[in-house]
Structure 1
Amino acid sequence: MQRTIFNTPLITPLLRQVASLLLKLHGWRVIYDQSAQDAKKYVLLGAPHTTNWDGYYFILAALKLKLVPQWMGKDNLFKFPLGGMMRWFGGIAVDRSKANNLVEGTVNAFNRSEELIVAVPPEGTRGKAERWKTGFYHIARGAAVPVVCGFINFPKKELGLGPAFRMGENLEAELKRFRDFYADKIGKFPELYTPPI
């Protein structure tokens, strides 16, 4: 496993203390469902995703909860001069211009790992989208791992981990579960949120 902000000896324990302090100073509360905290391998949703601030708070919460997540981002985020830093923050570059089998590659990564958290923003963008991208569902089904509902709620200043859901065969039924869970979670710019449909 590559060294990231979440698992670098000596540095990460210090950063966890800094993250807890920053969350307290910002007035944010991190909450979690025990089913998510106990899981070792899962797909972590990040929603609603309406601003770059989501990433900042995601990193603080992950440090506080002692998670070691990896996340997928557009490959142009990983170019010089910021590429190394993005990887250290747990990023995995995704080239959207090429037809690559991201689902299969991620399933294989889960199958090779004893512990792995892959964070996915199902909206695929900070702006308004037509619908959720469903790659997370196919990854979870293919790797037989749960999907954990990572969330942020700006009005209440809450973020964290919701329940861990095992994915059934009916995609529409699963999307309804996510729609119900995220119904009261509000992003910084609510008009940009794309609910699961």
Structure 2
Amino acid sequence: MVRLIFRLLFWLKGWKVKVHPGVDVNKLKKSVILAAPHTSNWDFVFSVAGCRQMGVKLRFAIKQSWMKFPLNIAIRPMGGIAVDRSDASKRKNKTALVDAMADLYKERDELCIMIAPEGTRSLTKSWKKGFYYTAQRAEVPIALAYLDYKNKVAGIGKVIYPSGDMDKDMVEIMKFYQHITPKNPELFALDRRYAKELAK
């Protein structure tokens, strides 16, 4: 039923979904789904709708305190999954949240968590790297999902398995997203550290 609703949404808005050659959705049952560019509230709606139509059931991490009654009634069906951030705040340990995220994968047979690496809809030139460390520690692939507003396409264009050489992998990610048109282009920028490598 939910998938039918999302198909209707895409039909009304003139959008379509695309899984690029070489991408096997069946191998993404446990993965980190990278969501970029992120410049509008519509991004969440189209990302969930597009992935559901491709057979990928997205989840998104949210503070444990938000998953209490009555908010959990609405958040859980949308894909919300609670993450305990208390250790990170008490110990001021930057890796605690990554560990908590990685543990979620170990506890489940299937889990696809959507992460927006920009961390904000506002313009930023430094992407957060938590998604990479999470995928690395959980030993799951990173699927590069995207929303191309110019062509009205939601898709998964590439899958990257963390090699341990984050700089190399991040350059590959930048290469992919440099050609995607966001809803608000003025609010999107590649990570400046790795974007420099594209000009060489």
Q: TM-score range by the shorter chain?
A: 0.7 to 0.9
Distance, in Å, in 1 between the alignment partners of 2:35 and 2:66 is: 18
How much does 1:193 deviate? 1.1
Distance, in Å, in 1 between the alignment partners of 2:185 and 2:82 is: 27
Matched, 1:24 2:11: yes
How much does 1:108 deviate? 1.3
The structure-2 alpha-carbon separation of the partners of 1:114 and 1:93, relative to structure 1 and needing over 3 Å to count, comes to closer
1:117-174 per-residue CA deviation (whole Å, 9 max, x = no partner) reads 1110000111112311001111111111110001001111011212111111221111
For normalisation by structure 1, the TM-score amounts to 0.83
Relative to total residues, which structure has the larger helix share, 1 or 2? Answer: 2
Matched, 1:142 2:137: yes
1:80-118 per-residue CA deviation (whole Å, 9 max, x = no partner) reads 875531222112356699346111011111122221111
Please give the secondary structure, in 1, of the residue aligned with 2:25. helix
Contact 2:125–2:190 (CA<8 Å) still a contact in 1?
Answer: no
| Partner of residue 161, structure 2 | 166
Q: 2:23 aligns with which of 4, 21, 35?
A: 35
Greater alpha carbon shift after TM alignment, 49-58 vs 92-101? 92-101
Q: 1:84 aligns with which of 60, 66, 73?
A: 73
Q: Which ranges of structure 1 fall in alignment gaps of 5 or more residues?
A: 1-13
Distance, in Å, in 1 between the alignment partners of 2:130 and 2:24 is: 20
The number of residues matched between the two structures is 184
Distance, in Å, in 1 between the alignment partners of 2:63 and 2:175 is: 28
Please give the secondary structure, in 2, of the residue aligned with 1:35. coil
- Aligned positions of 1:59-98 closer than 5 A: 59-73=48-62, 82-92=71-81, 98=89
The structure-2 alpha-carbon separation of the partners of 1:73 and 1:186, relative to structure 1 and needing over 3 Å to count, comes to farther
1:47-87 per-residue CA deviation (whole Å, 9 max, x = no partner) reads 00000000111121122123222113577976887553122
One-letter code of the match for 1:135? G
Distance, in Å, in 2 between the alignment partners of 1:82 and 1:65 is: 28
| Partner of residue 11, structure 1 | none
Q: Sequence identity, in percent?
A: 31
CA RMSD of aligned residues (A): 2.3
| Partner of residue 152, structure 1 | 147
The structure-2 alpha-carbon separation of the partners of 1:129 and 1:80, relative to structure 1 and needing over 3 Å to count, comes to farther
For normalisation by structure 2, the TM-score amounts to 0.82
How much does 1:182 deviate? 0.5
Contact 2:52–2:58 (CA<8 Å) still a contact in 1?
Answer: no
Distance, in Å, in 2 between the alignment partners of 1:63 and 1:75 is: 24
